[in-house]
Amino acid sequence: MTTTIDSVTFGSITINGTTYDFDVLIRSTGEIEKRKKKLSKQVYGTSHTLSKDEAKHCYEEGLQTIVIGNGHEGVLHLSEEASEYFEKKGVAVILSPTPEAVEIFNKRKPSTAGLFHITC
């Protein structure tokens, strides 16, 4: 089954007909998980900076691309360590405001994961 994001609004995201009111990680397999924001929050005091630990959690063997929806206003960004981690693993990072990231994700190729911040 293909995982498709049906819609996103401020505070919710609908995937394959199910609406979630929290940030999500969509694995390249299509598995949907609640984002592990605490991995970033414990390092930076905010979940608006993606930590290396959270990047490690997002990574999976064979991953080629991760599409990151950085919020409706673009407040989420990658820490330098997270960027370096993805680079060392050979993972391309596409960082865009969430509504645009949804469009990119829905046109994705295999071996692509998505992380979506659904508020600011």
| pTM of the model as a whole | 0.96
CB 55, CB 86: distance < 8 Å: yes
CATH for 51: 3.40.1230.10
In this predicted model, what pLDDT tens digit does every residue of 24-71 receive, in sequence order?
999 999 999 999 999 999 999 999 999 999 999 999 999 999 999 999
Mean pLDDT of 14-27: 98
Mean pLDDT of 5-27: 97
Q: Say if strands 24-26 and 18-20 run parallel, antiparallel, or are unpaired.
A: unpaired
For residue 47, the enclosing domain spans: 5-117
What is the tally of structural domains in the chain?
1
**Cβ contacts of 4 within 8 Å, gap of 6 or more:** 15, 16, 106
